[in-house]
Amino acid sequence: MVQDTISASASSEQYRSTILKIFIKPANRWHVGSVFGRLLSSITDEEEGLMARDVLPANPRAAEWIKVYCTGGLLRVIKDGFPNESG
């Protein structure tokens, strides 16, 4: 699903930038949370998971509320990016 949003030729920096823009958008929080939660839950590739994980600590308040929308299984590496989740 993440790959549907970002072209296959995107660089790692473009990928991170796009995820961050989706993540911090102050629009409808319910919709953004739902979409972003599904995106995170759809990641199965470890490298994509590492990129997503790196975005979470950049905005801890948003990471805290986004957790409730991550209803699917998340890769451990993504879970480690949430506040109070690692360890």
- 8: tokens are 């296959």
Q: Give the tens place of pLDDT for each residue, 69-80.
A: 887 789 999 999
> Domain spans of the chain?
23-87
| pLDDT single digits (tens) 21-65 | 766 655 567 777 888 888 899 999 999 999 888 888 888 888 888
Which amino acid, residue 22?
A: I
Tell me how far apart the alpha carbons of residues 66 and 35 are, in angstroms, rounded to a whole number: 10
- Cα–Cα distance, 21 to 86 (Å, whole number): 24
* Closest to 8 measured CA to CA, from 45, 34, 33: 45
CA distance 50 to 74: 12
Q: What is the pTM of this model?
A: 0.61
